[in-house]
Amino acid sequence: METNRTLGRSGIQVSALGFGCWAVGGEWQDAGGQPLGWGKVDDDESVRAIRRALDLGVTFFDTADVYGTGHSERILGRALGRRRDEVVVATKWGNLFDEGTRTLYGQDASVEYARAALTASLARLGTDHVDLYQLHLSDAHPAQAAELRDLCEEFVSEGLVRAYAWSTDDPARAAVFAEGEHCAAVQHAVNVLQDAPEMLALCEELDLASVNRSPLAMGLLGGRRRDGQALEAGDIRSRPPVWLKGFADGSGADPDWLGRVDALRDVLTSGGRTIAQGALAWLWARSPRTVPIPGFRSVAQAEENAGAIGKGPLTAGQVAEADRILGR
């Protein structure tokens, strides 16, 4: 397998595997007390994990200003330090938050806020540009999005942004951003349990990279979740929002979803892979445009995820077998 992939029409080269920095942001919540992080983190371990990923060839890191209400960006900036120019940094905007109370309290799709958000992200990341700037409001109105797309073109001309994208699961919305010359990708949910054929077809048609959110199905494909296994109170999966599939409120992973993972075990663990590595291998086999961005909180997780690169994608036959098992 080629160890690098291209971010759509931008020509920007990234490692075939990116790292998602949601979890390293630590605990945060919405105004109603709903946890939005993945529980407690050790910042020093997060920094070590990012630097280990770099040493193992990972050059693409995805975060958002709202992850940990700014903390994820700060940790990523700290970890990269003088190695910033070795990597491609993606972040997102559109949410309103209070860093002091670690609380999300709203959204803002205005042009004015986008510029203020970019300025703040650059400061937290300790950099003078973002390589991929992504709208984080998945259901923003297309007319508003068109204005923000045009603003992103201004950011590109000013040298503040190299390329941009929309984080959305709606192909029609993604197509609105794709009308811009420097739109390079769409970030969307896809994994072996939850395919996204329409979005992948759009990426192929419009020459966009497919940045894969939830490539391990929020940990279900990590191979360690068990039925009834408790989750800490600060973990979003302990009180899953409507959009978070595979987890039941207060009782951990859904047994039906875990059953699907078990059914896929032989396919995913082929070639000496772990289940997580097999899930990433499925994504690489699914499309030459995919760039999965699994999360991590430790050096061990970083090493396991990065270890998938050397094992390459599943075969076409293995992808077909996974589809058969899941009844697709």
pLDDT digits (tens, 9 = 90+) for 135-164: 999 999 999 999 999 999 999 999 999 999
**Quick one: pLDDT at residue 236?**
85
- Look at residue 171 and tell me whether its pLDDT is greater than 90: yes
Instruction: Find the mean pLDDT for residues 236-256.
Output: 79
Please, which residues bridge with residue 4 across strands? 15
What pLDDT, on a 0 to 100 scale, did the predictor assign at position 253?
Answer: 80
Q: What structural domains does the chain harbor?
A: 4-226+287-311 (3.20.20.100)
Torsion of CA 88, 185, 219, 273, to 10 degrees: -70
Segment 40-45 shows an average pLDDT of 96
List the structure tokens of 313: 């994608």
Would you place residue 228 in the very low, low, confident or very high pLDDT band (cuts 50, 70, 90)? low
The torsion defined by the Cα of 189, 291, 46 and 167, in degrees rounded to 10, comes to -40
Provide the pLDDT confidence category of residue 230 given band limits of 50, 70 and 90.
Answer: low
Q: How far apart are CA 294 and CA 292, in angstroms?
A: 6
Whether 209 contacts 184, CB under 8 Å: yes
Give the pLDDT confidence score for residue 245 in this predicted structure.
87
Element (H, E) at 211: strand 209-213
Q: What is the mean pLDDT of residues 217-226?
A: 80
- Per-residue pLDDT tens over the stretch 71-125: 999 999 999 999 999 999 999 999 999 999 999 999 999 999 999 999 999 999 9
In whole angstroms, what is the distance from residue 232 CA to residue 223 CA?
A: 18
| 73 vs 91: CA distance, rounded Å | 8
Q: Is the pLDDT of residue 242 over 60?
A: yes
Q: What does the alpha-carbon distance between residue 279 and residue 268 come to, in Å, rounded to a whole number?
A: 6
Burial class of residue 158 in the structure, from the number of CB atoms within 10 Å of its CB (0-12 exposed, 13-18 middle, 19+ buried): exposed
- Identify the CA nearest to 280 among candidates 222, 321, 210, 326: 222
Say if CB 308 and CB 36 are below 8 A apart.
Answer: no
Q: What is the mean pLDDT of residues 256-266?
A: 94
Q: How many residues in total does the chain contain?
A: 328
User: Which residues are bridge partners to 274 per DSSP?
Assistant: none
Question: What is the reported pTM?
Answer: 0.96
